[in-house]
Amino acid sequence: MKSTYDEVYARWQDDPEGFWADAAEAVHWYKKWDKVLDASRPRFYRWFSGGVVNTCYNALDRQVANGRAEQPALIYDSPVTQTIKVFSYRDLLDEVSRFAGVLQRQGARKGDRVIIYMPMVPEAAIAMLACARVGLVHSVVFGGFAAHELASRISDARPRLIVSASCGLEVGRVVPYKPLLDKGIEIASAKPERCIVLQRPEERAPMIAGRDLDWSELMADAKPAECVPVAATDPLYILYTSGTTGMPKGVVRDNGGHLVALNWSMKNVYNIEPGEVFWAASDLGWAVGHSYIVYGPLFNGNTTVLYEGKPVGTPDPGAFWRLISQHGVRALFTAPTAFRAIKREDPDGEYIRKYDLSSFRTLFLAGERCDPATLLWAEQQLGVPVIDHWWQTETGWPMGANCVGLGMLPVKPGSCTKPVPGYDVRVLSADGREVPAGQIGNIVVRLPLPPGCLPTLWNNDEGYQRSYLDTYPGYYLTADAGYKDEDGYLWIMSRTDDIINVAGHRLSTGAMEEVLASHPDVAECAVLGVADEIKGEIPLGLVVLKAGVRRPYDEIVRELIEMVRERIGPVASFKVATVVKRLPKTRSGKILRGTIKRIADGVEYRIPPTIDDPAILNEITADLAALGYPR
Ligand code: COA
Ligand code: AMP
């Protein structure tokens, strides 16, 4: 098929409001919008203002009404519990309506927040959809975060209810969630009225009388709740993501714009027809999980797969291929790190050839930069197009992609292809001028952002402007650096802030530095992301101790590693730290993290002209060599 990308992009550019109004006709509205784009409040654009919708209605009721009642809506595949369970659209609607009734019975009303802190079980998706059904704002917290991270989200979102589970299952270990939940609530400055806890058979949790309620008991006599119509501009959810400090940013998603954009993306970006099976191998705690495990596929009448397992080790590197063949998956979406892990264990693709993958059409990768070697390996082994695409929690759907539904453009490994219709992506120099093709700069998107992207941060309009709008007036700052080539292809190379991507998980080195700095023996510290063969990047900590500290260094390092695991969570993968005498700095006192990273990665570097004392670089090189860097 000849690509229609250029025409569709031009059509959007000529008439953005007409473009999105047409896309909005594909979903159900109780009342249509007064304005497609509402620009009445400078810098705070809103989509479909005046419109009234319900996200859950569009995900479930509309599909049942359109004849999909018996079609599988969600397949839960959990090698860690040896379970496969299929929910038809009718089943899912029934479960969601009843849990929505439970939430209402607990006093939750439109606009109240509900935190969902759960492992990859269907009940987590049911809880999300139930919130959407009755106008509650959900905030899912990834299970790999520890109590302090949970607490900061509770303090900010101030939820009326928390929905959780007794435990999660990682490879070879049960992770009890309840102690983390209890501690999180204890530390948080706001307390929920009730916690609803799913008791899993692998480990039951002790309950706190008067506060904790059992999911199954509540569901046993639950009355289904009908959809509550909400304004298109009302918040559907808050998803916290790493910012440059220990306090995560509460990305807000609205109902109407999100519905329209995700629905459009399923056909046009992912080329998925209603009725087909779509699998995003991610976690519900991330934006990918929200958009492409739950909402997008259900809006589009697909069967979605919810996978409680890993790419390797559950039980082997053939796990993905087993799922694809068993469930007839058409398209898989995951992070490049998953493929690097598979490639390491099965370099010749022997496990791939054990399965019938005839249903499989396209592999989508995102979440971190995809190295060409991984992309080419996947393409060669699978014999299907491998599409690298680029997006952020903030946007909720891709900014740059090869829109397969519009007809594929040639793939250039290492590039996420072109801006998706809706996004006017530019590359600017530090002084705000567009740079020529091939030259690296700051990647920005001209305002307004399309439907589906964050309208603001939760209770923090000021922080939204400061983080995203102030640097280049008229543009959204992505905090990614990269370039456009002569053909208009986008190359996303790195972050411009202190965010690192560890196994596709977005983490802030600033937040880790805050933890290290709170150790009583630490005078100053630096955390930076160093290259890792599987995870893409992993954090590395360097600390300078206070004068007079005489304790053994390895003891202190062990404590630091434990503190990050305890305060941020195991997902930070913070396992390497060392004590150094001094940190290299500029004359104005800024730590030269970029230079340390280049030394650790074995990449050529120039001694920064602003460096205070170049001799420190030799010391750091020796310290890193002692740790085995560069690897
Ligand atoms: N609950 C509790 N702990 C969790 C967790 C969860 N939901 N998710 C991860 N962890 C823990 C892991 O058990 C591990 O703990 P450990 O240090 O005791 O081993 C730690 O957090 C790091 O996890 P992870 O980064 O997942 O590393 P891993 O070595 O277990 O697995 C990969 C590596 C590549 C297989 C894995 O990261 C992966 O599948 N990545 C896919 C990426 C992805 O889904 N990205 C989302 C955006 S698309
Ligand atoms: P998250 O908010 O967790 O989705 O992380 C977003 C960040 O991940 C982006 O700002 C990029 O730095 C990085 N990222 C995501 N997808 C890609 C990609 N395809 N190529 C390069 N970087 C990516």
The token pair that represents 200 in the structure block: 């899993």
Going by C-alpha positions, the residue among 255, 292, 218, 215 that lies closest to residue 135 is: 255
Residue with the nearest Cα to atom 14 of ligand 2? Answer: 368
Is pLDDT at 244 greater than 80 in this prediction?
no
Q: Which pLDDT score, from 0 to 100, does residue 148 have? A: 94
Closest-approaching ligand to the CA atom of 535: 1
pLDDT band at 305 (very low <50, low <70, confident <90, very high): very high
For ligand 1, say whether the CB of 338 is within 6 Å of any of its atoms. yes
For ligand 2, say whether the CB of 335 is within 6 Å of any of its atoms. no
592 & 527 share domain: yes
Q: How close is the Cα of 483 to the center of ligand 2, in Å?
A: 15
Give the Cα-Cα-Cα angle 152, 155, 159 (nearest 5 degrees). Answer: 120
Q: How close is the Cα of 66 to the center of ligand 2, in Å?
A: 36
In this structure, what DSSP letter does residue 223 have?
Answer: P
Q: How close is the Cα of 303 to the center of ligand 2, in Å?
A: 26
- Phi, psi at 232, each rounded to 5°: -55, -30
Q: How close is the Cα of 250 to the center of ligand 2, in Å?
A: 17
Q: Are strands 499-502 and 441-446 parallel, antiparallel or unpaired?
A: unpaired
For ligand 2, say whether the CB of 571 is within 6 Å of any of its atoms. no
Ligand 2 pocket test target in 478, 480, 489 with most atoms within 8 Å of CB: 480
pLDDT band at 308 (very low <50, low <70, confident <90, very high): very high
Domain membership of residue 405 (yes or no) is yes
Cα–Cα distance for residue pair 477/483, rounded to 1 Å = 14
In this structure, what DSSP letter does residue 571 have?
Answer: G
Domain that holds residue 607: 503-626
467 & 511 share domain: no
430 & 507 share domain: no
Helix, strand or coil, per DSSP, at residue 227: coil
pLDDT band at 294 (very low <50, low <70, confident <90, very high): very high
432 & 537 share domain: no
Which tens digits make up the pLDDT trace of 369-408? 899 999 999 999 999 999 999 999 999 999 999 999 999 9
pLDDT band at 242 (very low <50, low <70, confident <90, very high): confident
Task: Pick the atom of ligand 1 nearest to 534's CA.
Answer: 34
Across the chain, mean pLDDT equals 96
Give the Cα-Cα-Cα angle 326, 327, 329 (nearest 5 degrees). Answer: 115
Domain membership of residue 319 (yes or no) is no
Whether residue 630 is preceded by a cis peptide bond, meaning omega within 30 degrees of 0, is: yes
For ligand 2, say whether the CB of 476 is within 6 Å of any of its atoms. no
Domain membership of residue 127 (yes or no) is yes
Q: How close is the Cα of 485 to the center of ligand 2, in Å?
A: 19
240 & 133 share domain: yes
Q: How close is the Cα of 249 to the center of ligand 1, in Å?
A: 22
Q: How many domains does the chain have?
A: 2
560 & 610 share domain: yes
Q: How close is the Cα of 52 to the center of ligand 1, in Å?
A: 39
Whether residue 448 is preceded by a cis peptide bond, meaning omega within 30 degrees of 0, is: yes
Percent of residues in the chain assigned helix, strand, coil, to nearest 5: 35, 25, 40
Domain membership of residue 314 (yes or no) is no
For ligand 2, say whether the CB of 492 is within 6 Å of any of its atoms. yes
Q: How close is the Cα of 500 to the center of ligand 2, in Å?
A: 9
Percent of the chain with pLDDT over 90: 95
Which tens digits make up the pLDDT trace of 398-449? 999 999 999 999 999 999 999 999 999 999 999 999 999 999 999 999 999 9
Closest-approaching ligand to the CA atom of 497: 2
Q: Which pLDDT score, from 0 to 100, does residue 203 have? A: 97
561 & 475 share domain: no
Tell which phi-psi region holds residue 308, choosing left (phi > 0), alpha (psi between -120 and 50) or beta: beta
For ligand 2, say whether the CB of 506 is within 6 Å of any of its atoms. yes
Q: Which pLDDT score, from 0 to 100, does residue 625 have? A: 96
The domain spanning residue 107 has which CATH number? 3.40.50.12780
The residues with which 540 forms a beta bridge, in sequence order, are 528, 576
463 & 509 share domain: no
For ligand 1, say whether the CB of 121 is within 6 Å of any of its atoms. no
Residue with the nearest Cα to atom 19 of ligand 2? Answer: 390
Whether residue 315 is preceded by a cis peptide bond, meaning omega within 30 degrees of 0, is: yes
Helix, strand or coil, per DSSP, at residue 613: coil
Is pLDDT at 1 greater than 90 in this prediction?
no
Query: Do 40 and 443 contact (CB within 8 A), yes or no?
Result: no
For ligand 1, say whether the CB of 573 is within 6 Å of any of its atoms. yes
Domain membership of residue 342 (yes or no) is no
Find the distance separating the first CA and the last CA of the chain, reported in whole Å.
Answer: 45
Domain membership of residue 438 (yes or no) is yes
Residue with the nearest Cα to atom 22 of ligand 1? Answer: 571
The domain spanning residue 566 has which CATH number? 3.30.300.30
For ligand 1, say whether the CB of 311 is within 6 Å of any of its atoms. yes
Domain membership of residue 367 (yes or no) is no
Q: How close is the Cα of 570 to the center of ligand 2, in Å?
A: 21
* Domain end position, chosen among 430, 452, 482: 482
For ligand 1, say whether the CB of 51 is within 6 Å of any of its atoms. no
Closest-approaching ligand to the CA atom of 478: 2
Is pLDDT at 86 greater than 80 in this prediction?
yes
Task: Pick the atom of ligand 2 nearest to 287's CA.
Answer: 4
Q: How close is the Cα of 309 to the center of ligand 1, in Å?
A: 10
Task: Pick the atom of ligand 2 nearest to 394's CA.
Answer: 2
pLDDT band at 462 (very low <50, low <70, confident <90, very high): very high
* Domain end position, chosen among 482, 517, 548: 482
Which tens digits make up the pLDDT trace of 111-165? 999 999 999 999 999 999 999 999 999 999 999 999 999 999 999 999 999 999 9
Task: Pick the atom of ligand 2 nearest to 494's CA.
Answer: 12
* Domain end position, chosen among 452, 482, 512: 482
35 & 95 share domain: yes
Report, in angstroms and rounded to the nearest whole number, the Rg of the chain calculated over CA atoms.
Answer: 24
Q: How close is the Cα of 492 to the center of ligand 2, in Å?
A: 8
449 & 559 share domain: no
Query: Do 52 and 229 contact (CB within 8 A), yes or no?
Result: yes
Which tens digits make up the pLDDT trace of 11-53? 999 999 999 999 999 999 999 999 999 999 989 999 999 999 9
474 & 576 share domain: no
> What average pLDDT does the segment 464-476 reach?
97
Residue with the nearest Cα to atom 19 of ligand 1? Answer: 570
106 & 159 share domain: yes
Percent of the chain with pLDDT over 70: 100
For ligand 1, say whether the CB of 335 is within 6 Å of any of its atoms. yes
The residues with which 585 forms a beta bridge, in sequence order, are 591
DSSP states of 262-275: HHHHHHHTT---TT
Which tens digits make up the pLDDT trace of 585-613? 988 888 999 999 999 999 999 898 889 99
For ligand 1, say whether the CB of 288 is within 6 Å of any of its atoms. yes
Residue with the nearest Cα to atom 11 of ligand 2? Answer: 368
Query: Do 125 and 52 contact (CB within 8 A), yes or no?
Result: no
- Phi, psi at 135, each rounded to 5°: 75, 20
Domain membership of residue 345 (yes or no) is no
Which tens digits make up the pLDDT trace of 247-282? 889 999 999 999 999 999 999 999 999 999 999 999
Q: Are strands 212-214 and 194-198 parallel, antiparallel or unpaired?
A: parallel
Ligand 1 pocket test target in 118, 170, 566 with most atoms within 8 Å of CB: 170
Q: Give me the residue label for tokens 């946007």.
A: 395
Ligand 1 pocket test target in 150, 573, 575 with most atoms within 8 Å of CB: 573
E strands of 45-117, at which residues? 46-49, 52-53, 72-78, 83-88, 113-117
For ligand 2, say whether the CB of 537 is within 6 Å of any of its atoms. no
Residue with the nearest Cα to atom 16 of ligand 1? Answer: 570
Closest-approaching ligand to the CA atom of 395: 2
DSSP states of 197-220: EE-BTTB-----TTTEEEHHHHHH
pLDDT band at 59 (very low <50, low <70, confident <90, very high): very high
Ligand 2 pocket test target in 240, 244, 392, 420 with most atoms within 8 Å of CB: 392
Q: Which pLDDT score, from 0 to 100, does residue 402 have? A: 98
Please state the pTM of the whole predicted model: 0.94
